[in-house]
Structures are given as C-alpha cells and as structure tokens.
Amino acid sequence: MYKDYPAAYQVSKGAALQVDTAFYERLRANAQQRTLVEQFEVPIRTGRAWKVKAGQVFRVTTPVGPQVGDFNVWNAHDPRERLWAARTRQLQGAHVSTHDRLWSNLPFLRPLVTITDDSLASYGIDEHGGRLHDLLGTRCDPYVNKMLTGEDFHHHCHSNLTRAVLPHGLTEFDVHDVLNIFQCTGLNHDDMYFMKACPAQKGDYLEFFAEIDLLCALSTCPGGDLSLPMWGPDAQDPLSVCRPLGVEIYDL
C-alpha cells in the first residue's frame, strides 16, 4: 500500500472550489417542496438528451435495478463549453459525490453542475479500491470495440450519445469524455483500469443542481450493470443485465 500524498490542487481563500455547502444542504433538506416538471426513462442500450434551466435540479435514477450510465453535459447556448473530465479529476477527484462539481473546458472553466445528493455516498472505497461515479475512464465506443473484437456494434455509449444529440444540432465531434454514473472503478496493482459490477439497487440516484442552462445527454451503457465481461476470453453479451435509467427534473 502506498503512502498518502497531498493533492496538488489546493483551494485558496475565495476560490470557486469552496462550495457553499449550506446552500446545497438546504436544497436537499427541502426536497419535498420541489415541483417535478419532467420525468422519463432511457431504455436499454439507447441515449437521450434533455435541457435543464439554471437553478433546476435533476436526478439520474435506477428505476429497475443496477445500471451504469454515461453522462455528457454542455452549455445549452454554446456547446463549445462542455464537461472537462480531466480538469474535474484534478479539482474534485477521479470519482465524485455530494458537493463535488463538474467543470467546463477552457477558456470557460466554471462549474456546470454541483452534485447535491447521492444515495450511494456511503459506498466509499471497497476492498479492491473501487469507488463510484467514475471520471477515470470514458465511454465505450464502436472503434475500440472493433479493435478488441473485430466486430461491429453500434449501441456503445459513444454511438448512443451521438444519436441523442443530433436533434439538438450537435454531432459525433461534440461527444466528449463522460461521467460514468453508478460505475464502480479503480486502478489495480499494475496501474490498469478496472470496472466492477454496479452496486446500485432499484431507487438509487445521483442528483445535480444546474449552475447554468444546460444540454445533458445520457447513455444506458450496453454493458448494463457490468457484472458480465464485454471483452477478453470470457466475454459475453451482457444484454441480460441491461436495465433502463430514469431522469427527473425539478423546479425549486
């Protein structure tokens, strides 16, 4: 086990990283006073995009059972501004939870959303070093699948996200590195990325506060809950462990 070492990106007085936790805790405490304005499910192995206004809250939920979702987010008025996963890893961590923020790319560099609630926050770190809500990895895609298997498959998260944003005037080139919601990941002793079975149960959720007007997109990963390997000698089609994800949007 390695000795701990301090983070490189330390917060200075007045920095945007100093979250007003009391404000977001009030939002969570007063959840019953919200108004549900939209609710829908994203079927298995598909994607969907939706808009959220600044000041609204939205949840990604597991209405049936464990399922991983790949999440992209843009400024609704300027898609050049979008999630910067690498900088978010440096500022918040490689896995995110309550009070963490998702940050946008340069030259914008501001919070797009703040996580206000996480029903799986108590998961912590498991025996393999796995943690939830992953920014270490990125979306599965048909290109790496072709490289690994020699086969074509176009319901990967990259493809699902692309199809989801086409009606909003975006293209494949706008799809970017994701937040893997409900995904349990880490680095093994060889410094290689691993993915574990999703521990979420029916009714779990990750909740966000929109800091600006947003266009969001979500793919229900074709790997489902990741309990079955998609690549390697034991690979199989994980269709049997694929489930929908839910989205709820609230006015405060």
pLDDT value of position 12 = 74
pLDDT at 230 (0 to 100): 86
Residue type for 190, please? D
Q: Is residue 7 part of a domain?
A: no
Number of structural domains (the chain) is 1
Assigned domain for 236 exists: yes
The reply to whether 12 falls in a domain is: no
Give the pLDDT of residue 234.
87
Q: Assess if residue 3 is contained within a domain.
A: no
- Structural domain includes residue 4: no
Q: What confidence score (pLDDT) does residue 178 get?
A: 99
Do 181 and 68 touch, CB atoms closer than 8 A? yes
The answer to the question of residue 184 being in a domain is yes
Helices 157-165, 142-149: crossing angle, 10 deg rounding: 150
In a domain, 25, yes or no: no
pLDDT of residue 14: 61
How many C-beta atoms surround the C-beta of residue 103 within 10 A?
A: 23
- Low-confidence residues in the chain, pLDDT < 50: none
**What are the structure tokens assigned to 157, written together?**
């998260």
**CA proximity to 63, closest of 223, 218, 204:** 204
What is the number of residues in the chain? Answer: 252
Q: How far apart are CA 26 and CA 209, in angstroms?
A: 12
Q: Which of 175, 179, 160, 161 is nearest to 103 (CA)?
A: 179
What is the domain extent for residue 172? 36-251
Q: Would you call 249 helix, strand, or coil by DSSP?
A: strand
pTM for the full model?
Answer: 0.96
Place of tokens 């975006």: 170
